[in-house]
Amino acid sequence: MSAHAHKPVARARAMADNNHGSARECTVKIEIYDQSYNVNAEDNEEYLKELAAYVDSKMRSVAEATHMVDSLKVAVLAALNIADESFTLRKRQQEIEGPLRKRVEKCVSLVEKALEQTN
């Protein structure tokens, strides 16, 4: 999955089959685990399709591994797996950002001191 700054899931809303939205809205039909959804993509159609494909693949992996047929249970377990990935990545990012921020602050301090000495 690409690292887009978009948040279509937070902004997207499930829409009825007969869309009454404004002309600038882009309604996209996506399919997740053999269920179709019409979703407002707000100019992020390809990214939204990529997210749907990712969720679909996670649900299919869970179903295959657990032999579950209840789609709600499959969805919940897939959501837990996706949440685990998100939390792990967030923790890794925080572990990198802390030391990096300190190094940047030290570099800025050194540059400021050098500039003070030249003035």
Rounded CA gap, 110 and 103, in Å?
A: 11
Distance CA(117)–CA(65), nearest Å, equals 65
Lowest mean pLDDT among 6-15, 55-64, 86-95, 102-111: 6-15
Would the pTM count as exceeding 0.95? no
**Residues above pLDDT 70, as percent of the chain:** 80
Average pLDDT over residues 31-59: 94
Task: Give the pLDDT score at 54.
Answer: 98
What is the pLDDT, as a whole number, of residue 43? 80
Number of residues that make up the chain:
119
C-alpha distances out from residue 65 to 52, 55, 72, 80, Å: 20, 15, 15, 14
Q: Which residue has the tokens 């923790």?
A: 91
pLDDT tens-digit series, residues 73-85: 999 999 999 999 9
Half-sphere exposure of 66 (CA within 13 A, CB side): 16
- For 48, list phi and psi in degrees, rounded to 5: -65, -40
DSSP assignments along 4-72, one per residue: ----HHHH--B--SS----TT--EEEEEETTEEEEEE-TT-HHHHHHHHHHHHHHHHHHHHHH----HH
How does the average pLDDT of the chain come out, rounded?
83
